Structure 1
Amino acid sequence: MGTERVKNAAVAALVAATLAGGVLMLVTEEHDAPPPAPGPAARARAAAVAGAPASRAELDALIRDRTRWLRAHPGDEESWAALGTAYAERGAWWADWAALARAESALNRSLRERPAAAGNTEALLGLAVLAGARQDFATARDAAVRAQQQRPRRWTVYRALIDAQSGVGAYKAVHGALDRLTALYQGSQSRALAAQVYRERGWREDASANAYDAVAAAAGTTERAVALRRLGDLAWERGEPREAVAGYDAALRLAPELHPARAGRARALAALGRTDAALAEYRAALTRFPLPEYALEAGELYESLGRHEEAEESYAAVLETADRAERYGVDQTLTRGRYEADHGDPDEAVRLLTDAWEAGRRSTQIADGLGWALYRAGRADEALPYAKRATKEGLRSPLFAYHRGQIERSLGLYGSARRNIGTALRVNPFFSPLLVPPARSALASLGEPPGGGPRRMTGREALYPAGRGRQGAAGSRWWGSGGAR
């Protein structure tokens, strides 16, 4: 490429950008060349260098810039990798599924120019991005591991590993990758990733502290908006909808296109009883970003309000948008499974989620979904181990706790059922407009635990005459071998 390639390496090295939660990250740090002319492409480069999110306009500017460059320099494997990864990010972030095919084409071209075995780390990370966008986390992990072997001191490699390992449920590996990442890099995005990992582990205070640090350290507008949206998510999960709305509002003022913040705002508004405003937010999100999970949430809100015709329209949209995503290779197993379990064919949900589990996709979300699908299909005994796994990995999800509690209730494990359904309502008393009423009803039907405490608690129960200190022992599995132990 000669001198011209070196002079343009600053944009070419926008480079091996990698997507993790919708961010553009620089993975080729060694080039030293003048930045592009001021404008969106330059801002995208600055965001990439910091490992920070780029706006859609900035990302599109990068795509245009690399496309122009490659017309004249078709042998530049780094620019093909940058272009492919940028397309993958656009597909994942903006539900532009057609962009994923362009991403695959560009990344394959990069690998033809320079094979992975010859050290094309940028293309490997681009493949990890693409596979993650398609929810193919096993492939994403394989690509990220190969990239790590080539460049073990590049921090963005560990970001790709964290996302992929989370997707397959390898949570110990996630923590190891975070330790390596934080040893290499201490910036805003390191704090954001720590918040994500600590949330999955159930360490809410640590997650919140790191999320606030990420906001304080954010440099660009979009980076700050994404960090504020994360604060909104954490507030929502704590059952604090007013604080969540404040976080989402702050994020949307900076980045009105940030659709996860808009959908989060809809959830929080529904919890506050502002259902018309919540439905308007769902419609706004779905108009530009037709994601199946948003259609499912909107349908359940409509159903909770008794607006069944509109609920059915939303449920139909779940299937339509999932079909469209799948035509471009985006796996929709989890959303389809949740839809079928509660609103369609539970046996189909079991089939879908069992296939995912057996293929190695063993995240807490898949475990919970499979357990609930088995329960809804009348197979509660088989469901319980999956529900237990989902609640024991660390993530403090009220939905998971509710699902486990209802499964246990059906099996007569009343003490454990009472504890888990109660936990769901304590963690977030608004966790689902459709499920909170049955959760309250189930908890009321279970009543208060009988007095006297469980047997074999102290080892001194034999000192008491029969019937004293063991009230309620007869006829209740809560006492003894049931769920209270």
Structure 2
Amino acid sequence: MRRLPLAITTTLLCGALAAVGVWQERPTANSAASSDNARRDSRPLAGGSLPQAITADQRRLRVAPDDASGWARLGGEYVEQARLSADPSYYPKADEALHRSLTLAPKDNIEALTGLGALANARHQFAQARDLADQTIASAPLHWQAYAVLADARTQLGDDTGATEAVQALLDRQPGTASFTRAAYDLEQHGRTDDARRALQHALGGAFDPADKAFCQYQIAELDRNAGHPDQALTGYQQALAEDADYTPALAGKARAEAALGNTSSAVRDYDSAIAKVPLPQYLLELGELHQSLGHADQAQEQYRLLDAEQRLAAANGVVDDLTMGQYHADHGDPAQAVRLLRAEWSRRHNVLVADALAWALHRQGADTEALDLAHQAQHTGWPNALFAYHRGEIEHALGRDAAARDDLTEALHDDPYFNPLQAPRARADLTALTGTT
């Protein structure tokens, strides 16, 4: 397996954490319910500081409308506010502010170019984000924020080697929260979960701000949850919330862990609270599937309706995301529509998440031979992903490859017995049928 040349155990990871704002967004791990589970939520700015910064910059720009740097800064703040609030209506505002900055200062405007790259990533226009980051780096090779944008874009595009190189370049220039967490994600994707944990623990050890600490605690808890340890994960999410009670990703993580541990009433309550703060599609789909697993059909359909509405709103504001609705349709809607959406997404980026989702949609449509090839592509990085293994096992079972199916379903349930409230029970039932045990 290709090894990431990150000096996890050296002083490279011992620098102080940096406040990165918009540049901190990073990909996330698997979810049966997330759009890009490639994209874990990043730490928020300290309470109220971002809205105050936006207001202050708006006020300054009314007085000095020719301030190119001010427009670039405001554009970046709009991207960050969209991420924190899950309100995509900030994206057109960001686009306008950043392009106004470029109009005022068209040459070597690295702040505006980097902001546009972050905006492109947020809108899932990953090829554009990569190109903007490359353009920025060509004129300012020490501008570390551009490497964060580049790492995210290459990860989403499925350029594994390029993503690793960008993360290493980011570490070399700015060892801090943005680089540690991207390094951890890259390591996790390549099956190096112990190294990923060490990277996050280094980051936590250097954190002083409560928001930074909450962010790191949350990411460590995510590793525990994805490894099938919801009790440890729950403790980690609670520690994150103790550091920063307003950190919504930890509240949603707490709900996931509670659901896995059978405390479904608390899980529903915490999901509702998280969605009230930040209505991310991931949270809506996860809560819908939890309700469905509990036999709450009306409540599940309400979450799915809200999911569709959120996706339509995102599309109206320039977000290109066929992955989320493709995942939804594969399990809860029209598999043929899922295949159409996911083929479109695959044409734009060969990311392992898209490979897995398209494989599953093809299986649901009955095209299992093509599905299996994509399912194998989804595992090429070595990511220990229970959902991927479950999908692969079910596809193999449909093709009559029972020995391989047994191995993959066993792997899924070993990696995380609670990976999904609907599909984990199916995996157990199918594995029992294949092995002839009870």
TM-score (norm 1): 0.80
- Give the CA deviation at 1:17: 6.1
Q: 1:429 aligns with which of 388, 396, 417?
A: 417
Task: Confirm whether residue 97 of structure 1 aligns to residue 88 of structure 2.
Answer: yes
Q: Given residue 87 of structure 2, which amino acid in structure 1 is its aligned partner?
A: D
Task: Confirm whether residue 225 of structure 1 aligns to residue 209 of structure 2.
Answer: no
Q: Are 1:16 and 1:126, in contact at CA under 8 Å, matched by a contact in 2?
A: no
Task: Confirm whether residue 197 of structure 1 aligns to residue 186 of structure 2.
Answer: yes
Distance 2:254 2:294 in 1: 18
Q: Are 1:16 and 1:81, in contact at CA under 8 Å, matched by a contact in 2?
A: no
> What's 1:312 paired with?
301
Q: Which is bigger in relative contact order (C-alpha 8 A, separation at least 6)?
A: 2
Q: Are 1:134 and 1:331, in contact at CA under 8 Å, matched by a contact in 2?
A: yes
- Give the CA deviation at 1:15: 12
Deviation sequence 1:325-353 (CA, Å, 0-9, x none):
22112233111011100010000010001
- Give the CA deviation at 1:319: 1.1
- Give the CA deviation at 1:179: 1.9
Task: Confirm whether residue 376 of structure 1 aligns to residue 364 of structure 2.
Answer: yes
Task: Confirm whether residue 111 of structure 1 aligns to residue 102 of structure 2.
Answer: yes
Misfit runs of 4+, over 3 Å: 14-18
Q: Are 2:43 and 2:215, in contact at CA under 8 Å, matched by a contact in 1?
A: no
- Corresponding residue SS for 2:141: coil
Task: Confirm whether residue 78 of structure 1 aligns to residue 69 of structure 2.
Answer: yes
Task: Confirm whether residue 210 of structure 1 aligns to residue 210 of structure 2.
Answer: no
- Give the CA deviation at 1:398: 0.3
Deviation sequence 1:414-453 (CA, Å, 0-9, x none):
122111111110001110110111101111122179xxxx
1:176-191 alignment, distance < 5 Å: 176-191=165-180
Q: Given residue 19 of structure 1, which amino acid in structure 2 is its aligned partner?
A: W
Task: Confirm whether residue 396 of structure 1 aligns to residue 384 of structure 2.
Answer: yes
Structure 1 residues 448 and 209, CA gap change in structure 2 (3 angstroms): farther
- Give the CA deviation at 1:188: 4.1
> What's 2:113 paired with?
124
Distance 2:255 2:53 in 1: 32
> What's 1:151 paired with?
140
Q: Percent identity?
A: 38
Deviation sequence 1:292-312 (CA, Å, 0-9, x none):
221111111111111112112
Distance 2:352 2:190 in 1: 11
- Corresponding residue SS for 1:392: coil
Distance 1:448 1:157 in 2: 54
Q: Given residue 59 of structure 2, which amino acid in structure 1 is its aligned partner?
A: R
Q: Given residue 419 of structure 1, which amino acid in structure 2 is its aligned partner?
A: D
Structure 2: tracts of 5 or more residues without a match:
1-17, 28-41
Task: Confirm whether residue 385 of structure 1 aligns to residue 373 of structure 2.
Answer: yes
1:342-353 alignment, distance < 5 Å: 342-353=331-342
- Give the CA deviation at 1:70: 1.3
Q: Are 1:16 and 1:123, in contact at CA under 8 Å, matched by a contact in 2?
A: no
Deviation sequence 1:376-405 (CA, Å, 0-9, x none):
011111111111111222321100110011
Distance 1:301 1:381 in 2: 31
Structure 1 residues 53 and 308, CA gap change in structure 2 (3 angstroms): closer
Provide the aligned length of Structure 1 versus Structure 2: 406
Structure exhibiting the larger radius of gyration computed from Cα positions: 1
> What's 2:291 paired with?
302
> What's 1:407 paired with?
395
Distance 2:95 2:64 in 1: 19
- Give the CA deviation at 1:183: 2.1
Q: Are 1:282 and 1:294, in contact at CA under 8 Å, matched by a contact in 2?
A: yes
Q: Are 1:17 and 1:82, in contact at CA under 8 Å, matched by a contact in 2?
A: no
Distance 1:256 1:322 in 2: 27
Q: Given residue 23 of structure 2, which amino acid in structure 1 is its aligned partner?
A: L
Q: Given residue 89 of structure 1, which amino acid in structure 2 is its aligned partner?
A: E
Task: Confirm whether residue 21 of structure 1 aligns to residue 25 of structure 2.
Answer: yes
Distance 1:353 1:68 in 2: 43
Structure 1 residues 269 and 276, CA gap change in structure 2 (3 angstroms): same
Task: Confirm whether residue 165 of structure 1 aligns to residue 154 of structure 2.
Answer: yes
Distance 2:383 2:286 in 1: 20
Q: Given residue 378 of structure 2, which amino acid in structure 1 is its aligned partner?
A: A
Q: 1:366 aligns with which of 342, 354, 376?
A: 354
Q: Are 2:71 and 2:98, in contact at CA under 8 Å, matched by a contact in 1?
A: yes
Task: Confirm whether residue 258 of structure 1 aligns to residue 247 of structure 2.
Answer: yes
Q: 1:239 aligns with which of 207, 219, 228?
A: 228
Distance 1:281 1:200 in 2: 28
Q: Are 1:85 and 1:103, in contact at CA under 8 Å, matched by a contact in 2?
A: yes
> What's 1:480 paired with?
none
Deviation sequence 1:184-209 (CA, Å, 0-9, x none):
23334432221121112221000011
Distance 2:271 2:43 in 1: 27
Q: Are 1:81 and 1:126, in contact at CA under 8 Å, matched by a contact in 2?
A: yes
> What's 1:65 paired with?
56
TM-score (norm 2): 0.89
Q: Are 1:195 and 1:210, in contact at CA under 8 Å, matched by a contact in 2?
A: yes
Distance 1:365 1:296 in 2: 16
Task: Confirm whether residue 438 of structure 1 aligns to residue 426 of structure 2.
Answer: yes
Q: Given residue 85 of structure 1, which amino acid in structure 2 is its aligned partner?
A: G
Q: Are 1:232 and 1:244, in contact at CA under 8 Å, matched by a contact in 2?
A: yes
Q: Are 2:24 and 2:177, in contact at CA under 8 Å, matched by a contact in 1?
A: no
Structure 1 residues 53 and 321, CA gap change in structure 2 (3 angstroms): closer
Q: Are 2:24 and 2:178, in contact at CA under 8 Å, matched by a contact in 1?
A: no
Task: Confirm whether residue 330 of structure 1 aligns to residue 334 of structure 2.
Answer: no
Structure 1 residues 407 and 125, CA gap change in structure 2 (3 angstroms): same
Structure 1 residues 383 and 22, CA gap change in structure 2 (3 angstroms): closer
Q: Given residue 419 of structure 2, which amino acid in structure 1 is its aligned partner?
A: F
- Give the CA deviation at 1:253: 2.2
Distance 2:149 2:47 in 1: 21
CA RMSD, Structure 1 to Structure 2 (Å): 2.0
Q: Are 2:184 and 2:195, in contact at CA under 8 Å, matched by a contact in 1?
A: yes
